[in-house]
A = this chain, B = another copy of it.
Amino acid sequence: MKKTYLVALVFALSCSSVAGYAAEKEDSLLKDAQAAFRPIPDKAPVIKNNEATQDKIELGKMLYFEPRLSKSSLISCNTCHNVGLGGADYQQTSTGHGWKRGPRNAPTVLNSVFNLAQFWDGRAMDLAEQAKGPIQAGVEMNNTPESVVKTLTSMPEYVALFKKAFPSQDNPVTFDNMAKAIEVFEATLITPDSKFDLFLKGNAQALNQEEKEGLKLFMQHGCVSCHSGINMGGDGYYELGVVKKPSDAILAGDKGRYTVTQTKNDEFSFKSPSLRNIELTPPYFHSGVIWDLEEAVSVMNDSQLGADLKAGDIGKIVVFLKATTGKQPQVLHPILPAPTNTTPKPSLD
């Protein structure tokens, strides 16, 4: 055997061993990720006690885009949860009736069906319950259930669509059914097939090296503690400021989950937000005061992890987070029914 050949062989063997080691590490990253997260499915999940017929989804879409559900006839669900803006509104906190500001940043509607509950403090059990809140909130749509039902009943097309969506009911045009229809439509607003989803489904090459490093840091340093599962968040309540209160990012006096449970332990706890599609929905936190995603990760590092992550590492985590942006929902804008003379007129007061 010639010497050069021997050298080449040793080199080849060592390369193959390095490659094998790297592949093993890659495989372990994929397995770790699969243990911590789940991919967004291609189809809307089934909602308990609220069958998603096509008629009901279509009605829900109309209601979601219906500004006449608000007292001013100006504000619809889509105003603050814009399907074209990552399901949110690019506002610090949402602006509603009378140009008033709501108390907290609008969470995205996208994938919200996977959250354990709705609102930052989890005060609504599900999306149907959630939908009833902003319609009645004085700083949002400022309407009443009675007026909503009057509005819907005034338009024969809506009455017919409610009958189709709730065929077994004699008087289907109700505030509850409105909320149920909105819920099944919102459940369709999911974002599958991000690079991260393809990775979780077993395609180890779907993430590039930097994204993988970001994912590794995300898991190693504990971000995953509050942002795991299918939605990378939205599955529990966590105190904001475990290590240090992030004074720049919290809203003075907002005690979060405590306002729902009145339990000392829940003071300053919030439902962890989903980090999916996060690049689309600044500003961040319930306060909406941080606009820069790197800064948001940095605030989390200081207040929750105390991990002393370097700027480069934070950058890599942001690169990974951008790989969670999935296919955005394709929504054909609904054509809303013609009003009649009995449809309530808008009021700006």
Residues of chain A whose beta carbon lies under 8 Å from any beta carbon of chain B: 62, 65, 67-68, 72-74, 79, 82-86, 89-92, 95, 98-99, 101, 279-280, 282, 291-292, 325, 328, 330-336, 338-339, 341, 345-346, 348
Contacts and interface: CB of A to CB of B under 8 A. Distances in A.
Given A65-B84, A67-B90, A331-B333, A348 B291 contact: no
A332 B79 CA distance: 17
A333 B333 contact: yes
B90 A346 contact: yes
A323 to B, nearest CB: 13
A74 B282 CA distance: 14
B91 A73 contact: yes
A312 to B, nearest CB: 18
A74 B335 CA distance: 21
Contacts of A89: 67, 73-74
A345 B291 contact: yes
Given A84-B333, A291-B345, A328-B335, 17 more contacts: A62-B84, A67-B82, A68-B90, A73-B91, A74-B79, A74-B95, A82-B336, A83-B333, A84-B334, A84-B335, A85-B336, A98-B99, A99-B348, A330-B332, A331-B333, A332-B332, A333-B333
Contacts of A92: 346
A291 B72 CA distance: 15
Nearest to A78: B333
A157 to B, nearest CB: 11
Contact of A91 (B328, B334, B336, B346): B346
